[in-house]
């Protein structure tokens, strides 16, 4: 066995249907009493329902900031910080997906306030010490243990109304976290176990959810898989897949989960020649792969009925060259060297919506 290092990230997880009722107890456990609630404009009504739960625990929220948006733009964070200060909040509670949780992280790392997360998607940001922020059209990331939220409440009830399309892309986004953990430079056997179990859980449950979104068992399994996959991302770092997604999302304002869904099979195909053992491990946990990881991923995405081309979300063909330039300018570590022409072709295939193939 290869030598490795493993550092367990601190954090508390409360998992299960109805666990939202423990929100007040969790805030009191932190010795806090004046939480600021965070959401997107679309989830404002949902998060307001938490006020009655807090009221039952004799807790009055400091207020609700409902302007979270994707890619965590710094001008929104600045506005939220002022709101936090004016409200006198002593902790933040983020309710939603990666956009809201990202804002919670941005506030927490700047103020030192405790951060409690209530995820409603499978994006996984709640389990990582990573913050991605966008300013002047560019997205940058940083990692710091202090960014990691202290408490996460996984209540499957809040995922039951997640639209089928978003369930699919959010779930594939989670799978991407685990895939990169399998070949990460700082990988270890603990994360490999988490990654394979998480991918298996999501790959089996997501097609069920797309066809029957009210299936509670499938929803619970998907949330469990997303948690495991997020643990991987928070522990072992990122490579080409995430570099491409950060480049494309931040520079061309593309939707986060949809971009991850489109890029994933192509990024794996790019790295395939350098990760034969990982390709075998993935094939073993992907349904209908017949020993071929790329085939298994293409079949999975077909079953999930997701859009496969970045052009469907507004990216222009002339943006392909610009994206390739940005991606090679400051590359993440990757098992295969970042070569401009094969990478450009990878991005072109993502733009065009072609099925992935390992021929680069």
* Cα distance from N-terminal residue to C-terminal residue, the chain: 31
pLDDT, block means (10 residues), the chain with 360 residues: 77 94 96 97 90 93 95 95 97 95 97 97 89 87 91 96 94 94 90 96 98 97 95 82 88 91 97 97 96 97 97 96 90 90 97 94
Q: Sign of the C-alpha dihedral, residues 352, 307, 132, 235?
A: negative
Contacts of residue 120, Cβ cutoff 8 Å, sequence gap at least 6: 43, 46, 95, 96, 97, 158, 159, 162
DSSP 18: T
Contacts of residue 307, Cβ cutoff 8 Å, sequence gap at least 6: 258, 262, 313, 353
| pLDDT for 272 | 97
CA 233/CA 98 separation, integer angstroms: 14
Instruction: Find the Cα–Cα–Cα–Cα dihedral 171, 172, 178, 181, rounded to 10°.
Output: -150
| pLDDT for 136 | 85
| pLDDT for 329 | 86
Q: Sign of the C-alpha dihedral, residues 350, 356, 359, 360?
A: positive
Residue 138 parent element (H or E): strand 138-143
CA 28/CA 151 separation, integer angstroms: 12
CA 105/CA 101 separation, integer angstroms: 6
Q: Is 20 helix (H, G, I), strand (E, B) or coil?
A: helix
Could you write out the DSSP letters of every residue in 88-102? Answer: T-SEEEEEESHHHHH
| pLDDT for 143 | 86
Q: Which tokens is 288 given?
A: 């209908």
Q: Which tokens is 238 given?
A: 């990122």
Q: Which tokens is 177 given?
A: 């976290």
Angle, helices 240-252/256-271, rounded to nearest 10 degrees: 140
Which pTM was predicted? Answer: 0.88
Number of residues written out for the chain: 360
Angle, helices 276-285/189-211, rounded to nearest 10 degrees: 40
Q: Is 306 helix (H, G, I), strand (E, B) or coil?
A: coil
| pLDDT for 157 | 95
Task: Find how far residue 323's CA is from the centre of its chain.
Answer: 21
| pLDDT for 64 | 96
| pLDDT for 3 | 83
CA 252/CA 93 separation, integer angstroms: 29
Nearest alpha carbon to residue 20 among 137, 128, 153, 151:
153
Q: Which domains does the chain have, with CATH numbers?
A: 12-159 (3.40.50.1970), 164-352 (1.20.1090.10)
């Amino acid at each position: 066995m290869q030598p490795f290092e493993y550092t367990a990230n601190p954090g508390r997880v409360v998992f299960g249907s109805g666990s939202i009722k423990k929100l007040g107890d969790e805030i009191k456990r932190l010795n806090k009493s004046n939480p600021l609630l965070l959401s997107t404009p679309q989830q404002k009504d949902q998060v307001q329902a938490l006020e009655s739960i807090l009221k039952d625990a004799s807790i009055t929220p400091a207020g609700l900031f409902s302007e979270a948006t994707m890619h965590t733009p710094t001008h929104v964070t600045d506005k939220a910080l002022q709101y936090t200060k004016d409200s006198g909040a002593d902790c933040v509670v983020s309710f939603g997906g990666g956009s809201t949780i990202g804002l919670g992280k941005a506030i927490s790392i700047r103020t030192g306030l405790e951060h409690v997360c209530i995820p409603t998607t499978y994006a996984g940001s709640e389990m990582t010490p990573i913050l991605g922020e966008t300013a002047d059209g560019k997205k940058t990331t940083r990692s710091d243990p202090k960014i990691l939220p202290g408490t996460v409440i996984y209540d499957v009830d809040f995922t039951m109304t997640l639209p089928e399309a978003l369930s699919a892309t959010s779930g594939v986004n989670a799978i991407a976290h685990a895939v990169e953990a399998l070949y990460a430079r700082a990988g270890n056997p603990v994360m490999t176990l988490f990654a394979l179990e998480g991918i298996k859980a999501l790959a089996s449950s997501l097609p069920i959810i797309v066809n029957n979104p009210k299936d509670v068992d499938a929803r619970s399994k998907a949330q469990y898989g997303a948690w495991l996959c997020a643990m991987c991302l928070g522990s072992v770092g990122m490579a080409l897949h995430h570099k491409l997604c950060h480049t494309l999302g931040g520079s061309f304002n593309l939707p986060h989960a949809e971009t991850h869904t489109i890029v994933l099979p192509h990024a794996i195909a790019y790295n395939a020649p350098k990760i034969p053992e990982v390709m075998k491990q993935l094939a073993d946990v992907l349904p209908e792969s017949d020993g071929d990881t790329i085939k298994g991923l293409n079949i999975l995405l077909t079953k999930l009925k997701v859009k496969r081309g970045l052009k469907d979300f507004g990216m222009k063909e002339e943006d392909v060259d610009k994206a390739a330039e940005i991606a090679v300018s400051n590359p993440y570590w990757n098992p295969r060297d970042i070569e401009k022409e094969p990478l450009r072709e990878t991005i072109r295939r993502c733009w065009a919506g072609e099925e992935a193939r390992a021929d680069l």
